[in-house]
C-alpha cells in the first residue's frame, strides 16, 4: 500500500493530527504550569490529563464541526499543514512519512515492553503473593506502625523475601504486601511512612479516573508525546500519594529517609533492579528513576508539596487555547 495514500485516509489523518495535537497540548500545558507557577501536584496532573484526552477526541470533533477542514482551501489558511511535512523527502530519496511509521512502531514496542508486560507480570505476582503471605503478629513492628495511622487500615501481609518489597492490591479486598527484608531495613517510623504511602495509593485507586486514564493511554499507544506525558502523570501521582502519606503521619522526613534507604544506600542499590535487559537500557532507566526519587526526596525534605489553589482558571484557559490552536493544525 502506498504510504501517502494511508496518511491521506481517515485513519492516517487521525494518527498524524493526534500526534501534532498532543505536541501542541504538551507545550501549552508545560507553559501554563510555569507561567502560573502551579506547584500543586493535583493541579499539575489535572492539566497533564489534557495531553492524553484532547488528541483522542480533537480530530473527529473538528471534522464533525467542519467536514471541509481537510480541504486544500482550509489547509492554505491553517497554522500548520502536516501534509507538507509528510511529503518531504530526506536526501531526496527517503520519505519523511516512512520515518513517522518507524517512530510509531518504536513507540508501540516501548509501550508493550515497559507498560503492558510489567502490569501483567505484577498482577500475576500479586496473586501468587496472596497465598504465600502471613499476617503480622501482635509484637510485629507492622502492628506498631499501624497503631498511629488514622482512618481505615487495610490488611497487611508479610511475604518471605530478603529483598525489600512493598506493593498494594486493589479490588473488593485491598491489602498491602511487604517483605521480611523490608522489616530489617526500615525503622518503625519509616515503615509507617511506607505503609501510609501505599494506603494513599489504595485510596486513589478507588477512583475510576486513573483506570480510565490508563485505558486512554492505551488508545494512543503509537503516540510518543503521550508516552512521555503519561510518565509525568504517573510521577505526579507519586507526589500526590507522598503528600497524602505525610498528611497521615505528619512526618515528611520519615518518608524521605525511607526512600533514601530503599534506593540510595549502596548496600540496597542492587535490590531495586528486578530484571536486566541491557546495560544501556538499565542505565537510562536507572538515571530517570533516580532523578524522580531525588525530586520526591527534595519535596519531602522541604515539608511536602505546596498547598496552592486549585488553578481551575489556568486549566480552563489552557483547555480553550488547546481547542482553538489545534483546530488550525491539520
- pTM reported for the whole predicted model: 0.83
Contacts 24+ apart (CB under 8 A), 319-325: 319/50, 319/54, 321/28, 322/21, 322/24, 322/25, 322/28, 322/29, 322/50, 322/54, 323/54, 323/58, 325/24, 325/28, 325/79
Of 153-157, 159-163, 246-250, 283-287, the poorest mean pLDDT is in 283-287
Whole-number Å distance between alpha carbons of 226 and 218: 10
Question: Residue 279: is its pLDDT beyond 80?
Answer: no
The H or E element containing residue 92 is none
Secondary structure letter of residue 107 according to DSSP: H
Whole-number Å distance between alpha carbons of 204 and 92: 52
The domain locations on the chain are 3-327
Q: Give 234-275 pLDDT, tens digit per residue.
A: 899 999 999 999 999 999 999 999 998 887 654 444 434 433
Query: How many residues appear in the chain?
Result: 330
Q: Give 107-157 pLDDT, tens digit per residue.
A: 988 888 877 777 777 666 655 545 467 888 888 899 999 988 988 888 899
Closest CA to 232 of 46, 45, 106: 45
Q: Give 187-210 pLDDT, tens digit per residue.
A: 999 999 999 999 999 998 887 777
pLDDT of residue 209: 78
Whole-number Å distance between alpha carbons of 319 and 313: 10
Whole-number Å distance between alpha carbons of 42 and 209: 13
How much of the chain, in percent, has pLDDT values that exceed 70? 84
Q: CA-CA distances (angstroms) from residue 175 to 153, 167, 178, 191, 243?
A: 9, 9, 10, 15, 21
Q: Give 213-242 pLDDT, tens digit per residue.
A: 888 888 899 999 998 999 899 899 999 999
Question: Residue 92: is its pLDDT beyond 50?
Answer: yes
Closest CA to 177 of 238, 135, 234, 116: 135
Phi, psi of 167 (to 5 degrees): -155, 165
pLDDT of residue 110: 86
**Strand pairing report for 175-179 and 155-159:** parallel
Asked if residues 176 and 154 have their Cβ atoms less than 8 Å apart, the reply is yes
Whole-number Å distance between alpha carbons of 163 and 53: 39
What ranges in 77-187 are assigned the alpha helix state H? 82-86, 96-111, 117-132, 141-147, 180-185
pLDDT of residue 271: 38
Which position has the higher pLDDT, 280 or 196?
Answer: 196
Whole-number Å distance between alpha carbons of 100 and 19: 10
The H or E element containing residue 326 is helix 312-327
pLDDT of residue 307: 54
Which position has the higher pLDDT, 115 or 106?
Answer: 106
pLDDT of residue 127: 58
Mean per-residue pLDDT over the chain, rounded: 83
Asked if residues 164 and 262 have their Cβ atoms less than 8 Å apart, the reply is yes
Amino acid at each position: 500500500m502506498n504510504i501517502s495514500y494511508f496518511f491521506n485516509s481517515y485513519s492516517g489523518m487521525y494518527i498524524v493530527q493526534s500526534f501534532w495535537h498532543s505536541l501542541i497540548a504538551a507545550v501549552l500545558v508545560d507553559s501554563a504550569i510555569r507561567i502560573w507557577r502551579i506547584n500543586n501536584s493535583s493541579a499539575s496532573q489535572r492539566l497533564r490529563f489534557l495531553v492524553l484526552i484532547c488528541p483522542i477526541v480533537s480530530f473527529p470533533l473538528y471534522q464533525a464541526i467542519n467536514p471541509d477542514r481537510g480541504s486544500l482551501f482550509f489547509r492554505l489558511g491553517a497554522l500548520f499543514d502536516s501534509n507538507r511535512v509528510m511529503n518531504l523527502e530526506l536526501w531526496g530519496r527517503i520519505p519523511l512519512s516512512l520515518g513517522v511509521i518507524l517512530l510509531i512502531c518504536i513507540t508501540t514496542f516501548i509501550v508493550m515492553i515497559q507498560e503492558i508486560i510489567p502490569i501483567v507480570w505484577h498482577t500475576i505476582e500479586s496473586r501468587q503473593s496472596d497465598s504465600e503471605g502471613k499476617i503480622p503478629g501482635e509484637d510485629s513492628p507492622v502492628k506498631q506502625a499501624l497503631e498511629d495511622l488514622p482512618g481505615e487500615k487495610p490488611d497487611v501481609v508479610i511475604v518471605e523475601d530478603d529483598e525489600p518489597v512493598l506493593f498494594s492490591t486493589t479490588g473488593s479486598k485491598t491489602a498491602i504486601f511487604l517483605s521480611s527484608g523490608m522489616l530489617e531495613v526500615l525503622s518503625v517510623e519509616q515503615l509507617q511512612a511506607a505503609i501510609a504511602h501505599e494506603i494513599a495509593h489504595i485510596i486513589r485507586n478507588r477512583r475510576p479516573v486513573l483506570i480510565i486514564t490508563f485505558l486512554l493511554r492505551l488508545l494512543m499507544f503509537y503516540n510518543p508525546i503521550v508516552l512521555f506525558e503519561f510518565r509525568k502523570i504517573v510521577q505526579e501521582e507519586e507526589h500526590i500519594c507522598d503528600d497524602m502519606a505525610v498528611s497521615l503521619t505528619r512526618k515528611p522526613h520519615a518518608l524521605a529517609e525511607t526512600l533514601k534507604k530503599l534506593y540510595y544506600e549502596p548496600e540496597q542499590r542492587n535490590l531495586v533492579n528486578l530484571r536486566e535487559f541491557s546495560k544501556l537500557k538499565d542505565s537510562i532507566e536507572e538515571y530517570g528513576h533516580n532523578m524522580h526519587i531525588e525530586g520526591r526526596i527534595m519535596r519531602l525534605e522541604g515539608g511536602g508539596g505546596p498547598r496552592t489553589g486549585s488553578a481551575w482558571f489556568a486549566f480552563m484557559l489552557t483547555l480553550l487555547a488547546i481547542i482553538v490552536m489545534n483546530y488550525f493544525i491539520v
